[in-house]
Amino acid sequence: MTRDELLAKHGQPVQVLDHGHVRLVDVMGDDERVEQVARLSYQQGTRKVSETRSLLRYLIRHRHTSPLEQAVITLDMKMPIFVARQLVRHRTQSINELSGRYSEMPEEFYVPDQVQICYQATDNKQGRSGPLPEDEAWQLMKQMHAEASESFATYHQFLEVGVSRETARMVLPLSTYTQWCTTMNLHNLLHMLELRMDPHAQWECRMYAEAIAEIVKDWCPIIWEAFVDYRLEAVTFSREEVELIRATVQRDPFDEAALQAITDLSKRERDEFLVKLGVV
């Protein structure tokens, strides 16, 4: 898609959770731009779409990240504070966030649906297990709403008696909504999506990551395809696991024609795959 087509499709806020949203503000660069900076000697009209796809898949496959930093996206996002903090860990972004020092915080807070009020997982210290019984979850939802409302009542009381905004905001819960405009390059964005689209990521964070992913699919479709194949839906094997796979394959080698028939991999990708297995 062109920049104008992207803005026409994704320029309006897409609702996430109860009060949140994701909206595309602007982009710079795309699949073609990443290819240009990767080739350097690229001349307009000298390559085929298949060659573009081959190069971009190579970049993702071998983690050549600097060309991806030439494509940049700006997003307007509104989310609970606890989600916001997870979306910026381990990545570099340029962010301008709603400030509770300068502005009065809107009385908006997140209360999860019943199905998202779950037991603590016993096999994952930071994850959820199955949902609580419906009646218990409903009572907890009401309590979460009441306590957040009470916190905002205290916040407004502090403001009314002249307490500074930067101090009064300290009583607000992590479920309070914040809003920011963030700009990041494609490399950092994909890294964030790889972490936050993982099934082990917190559900609320996954909802925002999936909303952003819908924009990226249209913005850089070839890179997105490679990202899904080589990062998002790929797995990593340990040295011992690789040795086991190699031993198995060496006993029963792949037939090249059969390998070609069951995959969409290019010849170069198939050759690299066989090298990884140690059979060529």
Q: How far is CA 134 from CA 109, 116, 242, in A?
A: 22, 11, 46
Q: Name the DSSP class of 45.
A: T
Q: Centre a 10 Å sphere on the Cβ of residue 215 and count the other Cβ atoms it contains.
A: 23
Contacts (Cβ under 8 Å, ≥6 apart) of 265? 273
Query: Which residue in the list 23, 53, 57, 196 is annotated as catalytic?
Result: 196
Instruction: Please give the helix or strand (H or E) that residue 30 lies within, else none.
Output: none
CA separation for the pair 204, 47 (Å, rounded) = 42
Which residue's structure tokens are 């997870």?
A: 86
DSSP code per residue over 77-91: EEEEHHHHHHHSTTS
Residue 239 among the catalytic residues: no
CA separation for the pair 265, 158 (Å, rounded) = 63
CA separation for the pair 220, 262 (Å, rounded) = 26
Q: How far is CA 27 from CA 31, 182, 274, in A?
A: 12, 12, 38
CA separation for the pair 209, 247 (Å, rounded) = 39
CA separation for the pair 253, 14 (Å, rounded) = 49
Structure tokens belonging to residue 110: 């997140």
Buried b (16+ CB within 10 A) or exposed e, 10-20: beeeeebbeeb
CA separation for the pair 93, 244 (Å, rounded) = 41
Please give the positions annotated as active site: 196
